[in-house]
């Protein structure tokens, strides 16, 4: 197990490094470099800026120092658009927000999707099953940027139950719609995956044995069927994580929650390179680490995996 984890780390670390180098190279070869803006700077200013941020040195040493600053000091450079603030400041400010509703979306998607899928499989071909299948087909075409306006339309404009945006330190009414908008499509996918794998498991021989022994259905499902049925769900958690981190950008923009996505899009609109690179690298690193955790979890649960 330890060697498996080490081997996976051996892949994960280069992946993050590749991401850093690639995004730096993209910035380096961008037409005009990082200092392009509406008002062209005089060459002397550009030279001074380049000297200040070490961009006048050879490319290799630039990449090395950029990488070193990130790894050793968590320093992603300055923000050019949000004056007087570093990228690390923006991340420190926005990330807790994103993490809060991201975490709850994840919990909701897994808990609701998982139980819906299990229920649909256990009561196969009942109204519950049809409802679950209907929901999961419908939610396929409702990505977060479609869900968000619909939710605001219904719950804010028509019913007046929930505030249409803002964060207020994460007070409950402000978290509800972001969580629903972000989790819906993943909830549907998890429900679909759980349902089909649960159906397969329930037809397996060991379940028939358990039934023949006279075990109650509850016990069969919870003790025997659940664990193998959840394996495909675990392998879906990685893509779901990527999707949610990506979707958080829409949530931040639409609900003005003040998360990291808001800074990301504003920076993208204003060519604030260091922020874009910083957020890209950070989310990339998080994704790689999350996938690592998922793989280890998978290997730990599934005895068939050899490591």
Q: Pick between residue 174 and residue 224 the one whose CB is nearest to another protein.
A: 174
- CA distance linking residue 80 with residue 280, whole number of Å: 16
* Least distance to another protein, CB of residue 55, Å: 15
158 Cβ contact list (under 8 Å, min separation 6): none
CB 107 within 8 Å of CB 115: no
Q: Pick between residue 97 and residue 152 the one whose CB is nearest to another protein.
A: 152
Q: Name the nearest CA neighbour of 202 among 175, 222, 180.
A: 222
- CA distance linking residue 279 with residue 257, whole number of Å: 17
Interacting stretch for another protein, rule CB under 8 A, among 59-67, 119-127, 189-197, 285-293?
285-293
Contact positions with another protein (CB under 8 A) in 88-147: 137, 140-143, 145-146
- CA distance linking residue 168 with residue 184, whole number of Å: 23
* Least distance to another protein, CB of residue 284, Å: 5
Q: Which of 9, 11, 40, 107 binds another protein (CB under 8 A)?
A: 11
Interacting stretch for another protein, rule CB under 8 A, among 13-21, 64-72, 74-82, 220-228?
13-21
Mask for 229-268, x = binds another protein (CB under 8 A): ---------x---x--xx--xx--xx---------xx--x
Q: Which of 89, 211, 280, 298 binds another protein (CB under 8 A)?
A: 280
Measure the CA angle with vertex 272, ends 252 and 98; round to 5°: 25
3 state DSSP class of 37: coil
* Least distance to another protein, CB of residue 281, Å: 9
291 Cβ contact list (under 8 Å, min separation 6): 12, 238, 241
Question: Helix and strand tally (H, E) in the chain?
Answer: 12, 0
174 burial class (0-12, 13-18, 19+ CB within 10 angstroms)? buried
Q: Pick between residue 139 and residue 220 the one whose CB is nearest to another protein.
A: 139
Q: Pick between residue 30 and residue 48 the one whose CB is nearest to another protein.
A: 30
- CB burial of 237-275 (b: ≥16 within 10 Å; e: otherwise) equals bbebbbbbbebbbbbbbbbebbbbbbbbbbbeebbbbbb
- CA distance linking residue 150 with residue 142, whole number of Å: 10
- The encoded tokens of residue 235 equal 């392998």
Mask for 24-53, x = binds another protein (CB under 8 A): --xx--xx----------------------
Q: Name the nearest CA neighbour of 225 among 186, 194, 193.
A: 194
Mask for 143-172, x = binds another protein (CB under 8 A): x-xx-xxx-xx---x---------------
Q: Pick between residue 93 and residue 280 the one whose CB is nearest to another protein.
A: 280
Residues near another protein (CB under 8 A), total: 46
* Least distance to another protein, CB of residue 212, Å: 29
Footprint on this chain of another protein (rule: CB under 8 A): 11, 14-15, 18-19, 23, 26-27, 30-31, 137, 140-143, 145-146, 148-150, 152-153, 157, 238, 242, 245-246, 249-250, 253-254, 264-265, 268-269, 271, 273, 276-277, 279-280, 283-284, 287-288, 291
């Amino acid at each position: 197990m330890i060697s498996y984890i080490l081997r996976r780390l051996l892949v994960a670390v280069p992946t993050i490094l590749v991401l850093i180098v690639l995004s730096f190279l993209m910035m380096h070869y961008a037409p005009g470099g990082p200092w392009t803006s509406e008002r062209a700077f005089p060459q002397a200013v550009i030279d001074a800026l380049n000297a200040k941020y070490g961009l006048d040195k050879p490319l290799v040493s630039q990449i090395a120092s950029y990488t070193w600053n990130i790894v050793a000091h968590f320093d992603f450079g300055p923000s050019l658009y949000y004056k007087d603030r570093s990228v690390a400041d923006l991340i420190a400010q926005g990330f807790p927000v994103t993490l809060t509703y991201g975490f709850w979306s994840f919990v909701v998607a897994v808990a609701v999707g998982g139980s819906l899928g299990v229920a649909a499989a256990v009561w196969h071909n009942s109204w519950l099953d049809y409802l679950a299948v209907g929901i999961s087909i419908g939610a396929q075409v409702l990505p977060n940027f479609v869900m968000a306006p619909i939710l605001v339309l219904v719950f804010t404009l028509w019913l007046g139950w929930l505030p249409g945006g803002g964060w207020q330190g994460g007070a409950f009414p402000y978290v509800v719609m972001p969580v629903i908008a972000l989790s819906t499509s993943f909830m549907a996918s998890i429900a679909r995956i759980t349902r089909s794998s649960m159906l397969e498991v329930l037809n397996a021989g060991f379940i028939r044995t358990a039934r023949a022994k006279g075990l109650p259905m509850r016990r069969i499902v919870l003790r025997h069927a659940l664990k193998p049925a959840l394996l495909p769900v675990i392998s879906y958690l990685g893509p779901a994580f990527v999707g949610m981190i990506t979707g958080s950008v829409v949530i931040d923009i639409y609900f003005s929650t003040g998360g990291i996505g808001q800074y990301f899009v504003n920076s993208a609109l204003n060519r604030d390179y260091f922020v874009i690179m910083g957020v890209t690298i950070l989310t990339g690193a998080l994704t790689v680490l999350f996938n690592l955790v998922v793989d280890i979890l998978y290997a730990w649960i599934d005895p068939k995996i050899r490591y």
